[in-house]
Amino acid sequence: MPEEIRGCTTAIAGFRQEESGHWIAELACGHTQHMRHRPPWEDRPWVESTAERAAKLGAPIACPSCEMPALPGTAREYRRSSTFTQDTVPAGLLREHGTKADVWALIVVESGQLDYTFDSPLRTFRLVPARLGVIPPKVPHHVSLIGPVQFYVSFLALP
């Protein structure tokens, strides 16, 4: 894959507590991450406070489980699809396909959610309005719908 691809930064969407008492952050990308306070290894005293956990909602966090590609900084939109819904999504987007060489794309969810999957290597990302799907050139991928959704695809090129 191109050099520009790296791990992702997502946001804390919520918290839940395991039976063992450990807190787990639910991330906007669909993954989870343990949030433990065990000094000196993990220094997170805020996780033990309801108010401080609430203050962390929406905070950026690196997701070690997520490998969403990152757009090159010079990529610029040259075309945008119409807005698709669960009733109008082209069948081709639901099966493996890829962009042309040198074409990047963004899946932008306006409402609802969908799963975006790289077919090789297999990785799936839950996309919501706050989480874009980045499609590198020629990478095989597809989307799967999860109920009502509105989204479009933005096509980008490098100068």
**pLDDT value at residue 27:** 87
DSSP H or E segment with residue 94: none
Same domain, 96 and 149: yes
Same domain, 59 and 98: no
Interatomic CA distance for residues 150 and 145, integer angstroms: 10
Q: Which of 19, 40, 63 is the last residue of a domain?
A: 63
**pLDDT value at residue 8:** 66
Which residues of the chain are modeled with pLDDT < 50?
1-7
Same domain, 93 and 150: yes
Same domain, 143 and 90: yes
Convert the pLDDT of each residue in 40-76 to its tens digit. 777 889 999 999 999 999 988 877 667 778 788 899 9
pTM to 2 decimal places: 0.64
Count of domains observed in the chain: 2
Amino acid, res. 15: F
Same domain, 81 and 151: yes
Domain span including residue 50: 8-63
**pLDDT value at residue 1:** 26
